[in-house]
Amino acid sequence: MKFLDLAKVHIRSGGGGSGCVSFRREKFVEFGGPNGGDGGNGGSVWAEAVDNLNTLIDFRYQQHFFAKSGQAGMGSQRTGKTGEDIVLKVPTGTEILDEDQETLIADLTEPGQRVLLAKGGNGGWGNVHFKTATNQAPRRANPGQEGVERTLWLRLKLIADAGLLGLPNAGKSTFLAATSNARPKIADYPFTTLVPNLGVVGVDGREFVIADIPGLIEGASEGRGLGDLFLGHVERCAVLLHLVDATSESVVEDWRTILAELAAYSPELARKPRITALNKIDALDADTLAERRAALAAAIRADDDGPLLEMSGVTGAGVTEVLRALQARIAPPQAAPAEQEPWQP
């Protein structure tokens, strides 16, 4: 299944049915008069979040969604049939934006959450409603209310507890594959990850979800590489794990590159709690590792950017400590309740 996190849709609710102009004329039946029924209401367009979808690919092949219009009223005060609603099934975590792609209409973050996108038009009144003492035979009825037509954007932001950041080939996919059942593509060239991946990891009997996004490079905010289009998928995360490749000769510059791209994308995202991990420590000798760790630790302390950990996604060294640090930021352990003194009568 292809991954798609942005889609444009055109929707229209159904119009209301027209009211009916009708009269009761039956031989030997008294109290005749107007008996035109009301028109039926038009169908509405809804959006509903479901938990068995993780892409908007269905909206690439169908962009137009038109609800049914209501049926016109009939004689004998019969109301027209109401038009059927249309429900757009979207993945949990989908934002619905107006045509300008800036005005947020709804943010569906819980499975089963629904939002009305376009209300169906009301049906028109039949002539029975216009009967008065001075107008016993009204020959007028209301037309149905027209439906609402809109153009909307659907933008998916994956629901995850922690997000992975780093330059291409920093080891993000290897870390996700080593700690979860996710099977992202892993290779020895940059940009092997082309779409976000989710994995459920566990540590100390507790589980949480990690999101891996394509690597960032300098100038991603200006569209270089794969750009920063996928950074939206880590906006909902409680904590970010920044992986720095220990085999790089410029670990401090690599670390600063990611921070600069975060700040260019969103100052709010740049202020989100982060944990920095020096990855691929198994590929270095002790002296080189100590030198690069000291340089990166000094930069992190100067920037007050949280703790610095060491790990290797290949050998598993330090992975448990990294997972525990993430878990502590996601759901800090609660202190055990103090023992109360036994009650004395």
pLDDT at 55: 85
Give the residue-averaged pLDDT of 152-161: 88
> Is residue 303 a known part of a binding site?
no
> Is residue 219 a known part of a binding site?
no
Q: Record the tokens describing residue 218, joined without a space.
A: 């300098």
pLDDT at 64: 95
Place of tokens 């703790």: 307
More confident residue, 229 or 294: 294
> Is residue 171 a known part of a binding site?
yes
35-56 pLDDT, tens digit each: 899 999 999 999 999 988 888 8
> Is residue 167 a known part of a binding site?
yes
> Is residue 266 a known part of a binding site?
no
User: Class of the 6-156 domain?
Assistant: mainly beta
89-109 pLDDT, tens digit each: 999 989 999 999 889 999 998
The alpha carbon of residue 152 and the mean position of all alpha carbons in its chain are separated, in whole angstroms, by: 15
Q: Record the tokens describing residue 285, joined without a space.
A: 């000798």
Same fold, 6-156 and 162-330: no
pLDDT at 147: 93
> Is residue 191 a known part of a binding site?
yes
Q: Which of 148, 8, 9 is nearest to 83 (CA)?
A: 148
243-296 pLDDT, tens digit each: 898 888 888 998 888 888 888 888 888 888 888 989 888 888 889 989 988 988
> Is residue 192 a known part of a binding site?
yes
CA distance 63 to 13: 14
CA distance 63 to 46: 14
195 pLDDT more than 90: no
119 pLDDT more than 90: yes
> Is residue 193 a known part of a binding site?
yes
Which residues are CB-neighbours of 66 under 8 A, at least 6 positions away? 11, 12, 14, 86
CB 2 within 8 A of CB 44: no
Give the residue-averaged pLDDT of 170-177: 84
pLDDT at 335: 45
Q: Record the tokens describing residue 157, joined without a space.
A: 């932001």
CATH architecture assignment, domain 162-330: 3-Layer(aba) Sandwich (3.40)
Domain ranges within the chain, ordered by starting residue = 6-156, 162-330
> Is residue 272 a known part of a binding site?
no
> Is residue 76 a known part of a binding site?
no
CA distance 307 to 265: 23
